[in-house]
Amino acid sequence: MQDLRQAKEYAKYMESLGWVVEEEVFVKKLALASFSFIKYQRPNWPIDFEKVEKVAKKYRAIQVKIEPNVSENRKIEKEFERRGYKFDRLPMLPTKTVWLDLRKSEKQLLKEMHYKTRYNIRKNQGLKIKVVRGDKVSEKTLKEFYEIYKKNTRGQKFWGVSFNQLESLFECFSKKGYLLWIKDLGGLVMLIADRTAYYSHNAACKEGREKFVPTLLTWEAIKLAKKMGCQRFDFEGISDPRFPVTNKWLGFSRFKKSFGGNRIKYIGSFSKWRFR
């Protein structure tokens, strides 16, 4: 399957953030300089290294970072090394995630969850969840969700997206983006690409967390993705012992893993400096 970062909707989103997109490669021109930085995210293997080099030369890239859509593989690592790339200790994308197989029945998916997660879903089913497609999300609703999201990011001390970036995300994904929303309590953003549903952003206020709103919204997103014919639900990142910086993700990693599924570990990130 093609990863989200290789979808045309995501390319459009990156362009809205000021990146140049060429041959699925993202180019960031450096301010007040004639150089650039390049990232090539989740391309399937084998990678067209010649294509990447062509783009790098055109935009005078001083660094190229590639994060392939493959699991750990020594042969692939050696190929990167042969081409002058080094293993990067600062990946830009999560290197580990959880996938749910949506071809399973709802009954089976519930059975494979942690029993507390299953209990919390059944106990709090009375809350009204509104599902809004990306091209139908109003500015008012988006601002209400963003206020909760912003407080969450501050409380958890991590950088989130800006309101303009969130708005642009829905504009670019349009009918392939969804906001699942429980008014005043919390919301979840889900994106669709190539039969895969991606858990993008999830936020809840204190009362919402007490009512297990993140759990309810995630289960609703899983059911929606299944109805839409998606084969996989990707939780988009959990902590990875290979990278200590992800230790601060332990809390939401436990949450995501409580839904069951398979743990997926990517090979990681490789970068090359260019001075010619």
Q: pLDDT tens for residues 62-75?
A: 999 999 999 989 99
108 or 123: whose pLDDT is higher?
Answer: 108
Average pLDDT score over residue span 91-95: 96
Range with the largest mean pLDDT of 92-101, 146-155, 240-249? 92-101
For 41-52, write each residue's pLDDT tens digit: 999 999 999 999
Q: β-strands 269-273, 96-101: how paired?
A: unpaired
Q: Domain spanning 104-230 has what CATH number?
A: 3.40.630.30
Residues 6+ apart with CB under 8 A from 81: none
19: pLDDT strictly greater than 70: yes
171: pLDDT strictly greater than 80: yes
158: pLDDT confidence band, cut at 50, 70 and 90? confident
pLDDT at 155: 76
pTM over 0.85: yes
Task: Name the residue ranges covered by the structural domains of the chain.
Answer: 4-93+266-273, 104-230
What span, in angstroms and rounded, lies between the C-alpha atoms of 55 and 43? Answer: 15
276: pLDDT confidence band, cut at 50, 70 and 90? low
Average pLDDT taken over every residue of the chain: 96
For 108-119, write each residue's pLDDT tens digit: 999 999 999 999
Quick one: what percent of the chain has pLDDT higher than 90? 92
Instruction: Tell me whether the CATH fold assigned to 4-93+266-273 matches the one assigned to 104-230.
Output: yes
Contact call for residues 270 and 69 (beta carbons, < 8 A): no
The single-letter code of the amino acid at 262 is N
Average pLDDT score over residue span 29-54: 94
Structure tokens at 209: 């967390």
6: pLDDT confidence band, cut at 50, 70 and 90? very high
pLDDT at 31: 82
Q: β-strands 86-88, 130-133: how paired?
A: unpaired
83: pLDDT strictly greater than 70: yes
Strand partners, 38: 27, 64
Pick the closest to residue 196 from 95, 103, 93 (CA basis).
103
Average pLDDT score over residue span 84-103: 97
Q: Would you mind telling me the total number of residues written for the chain in this entry?
A: 276
Average pLDDT score over residue span 71-93: 96
What span, in angstroms and rounded, lies between the C-alpha atoms of 5 and 3? Answer: 5
Q: Domain spanning 4-93+266-273 has what CATH number?
A: 3.40.630.30
Pick the closest to residue 241 from 139, 144, 96 (CA basis).
96
pLDDT at 125: 85
Structure tokens at 270: 């490789």
The phi and psi torsions of 109 (rounded to 5 degrees) equal: -65, -40
Burial class (CB in 10 A: 0-12, 13-18, 19+), 66: buried
Average pLDDT score over residue span 88-94: 95
What span, in angstroms and rounded, lies between the C-alpha atoms of 241 and 250? Answer: 10
Average pLDDT score over residue span 115-143: 95
* Cis status of the peptide bond prior to 94, with omega within 30 of 0: no
| Alpha-helix runs per DSSP H in the chain | 8-16, 49-58, 74-82, 106-111, 115-123, 139-156, 163-173, 206-210, 213-227, 250-257
